[in-house]
Amino acid sequence: MVNLVWLLLLLVGIITAALSGKIDQVTVSALEAAELGIAVAIQLMGVMSLWMGIMYIAEKAGMVQALAKFSSPLIRRLFPSLKENSPAFGPIVMNLCANILGLGNAATPFGLKAMQELQKENPKKDTASQAMITFLALNTSCITIVPASIIAVRMKAGSISPTEIIGTTIFATSCAMTAAIFVDYLFRKRHGL
């Protein structure tokens, strides 16, 4: 359905440009947008490589386990159904850390690993467990303190102040995460989980 909407918007734009005699601007804009897309992707590769490297070093240095133990009281309250020494805690913590730093792409491998570990502990393999639902809610709504990817895109686009979005990002993502935790709690309470 979304693809159909995009196709419709594209066709309306091209037809409008042709009827108004500005079809050459469509070609120029398409080429400029393609060039900007490649430039942004290359710059994001650098930012992502930096943070993925830092995360990898932290994981190998044992900081993941230390962070998991440090945050264990909070994580245990959010995931009461998990076993005491669940191997899912490490990837969950790393996923949340990457999301907090605004590195959604770096968070993805940790999120996939966390879901694999949560699935191993899931008694009903064809249904998402309580912990999986909670993790999904946290992953999609996690607070972002440093929106690194967005700052990189704004820098590449020539923003005068690419970091001015930090305050509003913290506020908006705090509200989203609070709402997600609250709704997850209500869901668990209502269904006796």
Question: Tens of pLDDT along the chain (193 residues)?
Answer: 778 888 898 888 888 888 888 888 888 888 888 888 888 778 777 766 776 787 778 778 887 677 767 777 888 888 888 887 888 888 888 888 888 877 777 788 888 889 999 999 888 888 888 889 999 999 999 888 888 778 878 887 888 998 899 999 999 999 999 999 999 889 888 876 6
Confirm whether pTM is higher than 0.75: no
**Helix 23-60 to helix 89-100 angle, to the nearest 10 degrees?**
140
User: In 61-165, which residue ranges form alpha helices assigned H by DSSP?
Assistant: 63-70, 72-78, 89-100, 104-121, 130-141, 148-156
DSSP for 19-32? HTT-HHHHHHHHHH
Question: How many residues can be counted in the chain?
Answer: 193
**3-state helix vs strand vs coil in the chain, percent to 5:** 75, 0, 25
